[in-house]
Amino acid sequence: MKIISIPVRESWEELFRRPTPEIEEIEDQIKPIFRAVMSSGDEAVQKYTSRFDGVLVDSLLCSPQEFKDAEKALDPELKKAIQNAMGNIKRFHSAQKTTRVEVETAPGVLCWQEKRPIEKVGLYIPGGTAPLFSTILMLAVPAQIAGCREIIMCTPPNKEGKVHPAILYAASLCGVDRIYKVGGVQAVAAMTFGTETIPRVYKIFGPGNQYVTVAKQLATQYGVAIDMPAGPSEVMVVADDSAKPSFVAADLLSQAEHGADSQVVLVTTSQTFLESVREEINMQLAELPRKDLAQKALSNSKLILAESISDALDMINFYGPEHLILSCEDAEVLSEKVINAGSVFLGNFTPESAGDYASGTNHTLPTNGYARQYSGVNLDSFMKSITFQRISEKGIQQIGPTVAIMAEAEGLQAHKNAVTLRLQALLSK
């Protein structure tokens, strides 16, 4: 990992640049896949699944037997862990329900807001180098709580044309029974346009690599919403001498092992602590099964010595990390000044991996600096807010003149007429 000491602010743009290629480069590779799926449906999906995943599946839809086999194959302890995690996620997301908001803005003018579920949602679950069955809990649980009528899921098959049993079990536990063995760009395209087998959805959720991220953004050009741009994983740790170097090293490596394009950043005010973390990383890295992937990610990563905690805070809000760990004294106080972050983890005993799996918060979060303007997935992500209003005779007399004056000033006579005709009718009663 690169060590940077007291970087000047003018260098931050380059210092915190993510290791991602230009979108235009990726789009040029994605657009032909979208066009093929739009025109050829299942045939194109099968072709690209064969090309990218190296397998031709008999059926894109997982069969009931595959769900039964998955449940038998899964270790009982893992089943129990998935159930426990699901319980915490359900509790946290259920608490996010809100009641109808109703206000009488003027006498006789009643306005209110109610939420409705998005009817059709598609979940994308990565399954390449790691079967992310935990992501199913993060997406399907709030979708069920929200009341989405149709919840489908796409995930890439392995070389044998199978889906990992933990993915099938978690999906079944969450009530998702339509899983399609298709991944990558072709999965996003299939949910965007619909095929003979895979239905079109109104909104697509789920993380993925750079290609999936750009494919989701391309889907928005065809009338499909997405949760957020969510690409390669990243973490920023801000730590001082009160932190434990082995803990911080483990936190950094837990993100680095996601993939070669992940990015991890340590910001600390202590040179001694920085050196200790670097030594710990080298020791722990040697023991990791995914050492090669983590090592590639570390080449894109930084160990930064900051002049002060105040500078560290500015770096946080400049970078806008997907995950932010505050392993320092007064972490609670510091957290109040965090403006840009996907999810924040406070204290020495709050590892980011707890949020990845079982604390209850959602792990589908904005990356690439999008935490500056996007929230992570939550219950509202699966819902729409609809406003209502009811105006009485007294109410239209109250606000009618205001509407008429404003409409006339904008040159919209029909808007004015819609009010004045009503006012005249009341006067003639």
Q: Which residues are catalytic?
A: 322-323
CA angle, corner 133, sides to 131 and 139, nearest 5?
130
H-run or E-run covering 385? strand 383-391
124 labelled as ligand-binding? yes
- Residue 164 annotated in ligand binding: no
Rounded-to-integer distance, Cα 59 and Cα 162, Å: 11
| 93 in a labelled binding site | no
Q: Does residue 24 have a known ligand-binding role?
A: no
What distance in Å separates the CA atoms of residue 28 and residue 68, rounded to the nearest whole number? 41
User: What is the rounded CA–CA span in Å between residue 269 and residue 6?
Assistant: 9
Any binding-site annotation on 209? Answer: yes
CA dihedral 198, 202, 204, 205 (to 10 degrees): -120
Give me the helices (H) in 286-328, please: 291-298, 309-319
Percent of the chain that is helix, strand, coil (3-state, to 5): 50, 15, 35
343 backbone dihedrals φ, ψ, rounded to 5°: -150, 140
Contact by Cβ (8 Å): 325, 349: no
Tell whether residue 255 is among the known ligand binding residues: yes
- Residue 328: both structure tokens together: 């320092």
363 is known to lie in a ligand binding site: no
Confirm or deny that 40 is annotated as ligand binding. no
Helix, strand or coil for residue 209?
coil
Locate tokens 């699966």: which residue? 382
Which residues, other chains included, contact 362 with Cβ-Cβ below 8 Å and sequence gap of 6+?
Answer: 89, 93, 138, 142, 343, 376, 377, 378
**203-205 and 263-268 beta bridge pairing:** unpaired
The number of residues in the chain equals 429
Compute the radius of gyration of the chain from its Cα atoms: 25
398 is in an annotated binding site: no
Known binding site for substrate: residues? 233, 255, 258, 323, 356, 410, 415
Known binding site for NAD(+): residues? 124, 186, 209
Known binding site: residues? 124, 186, 209, 233, 255, 258, 323, 356, 410, 415
Known binding site for Zn(2+): residues? 255, 258, 356, 415
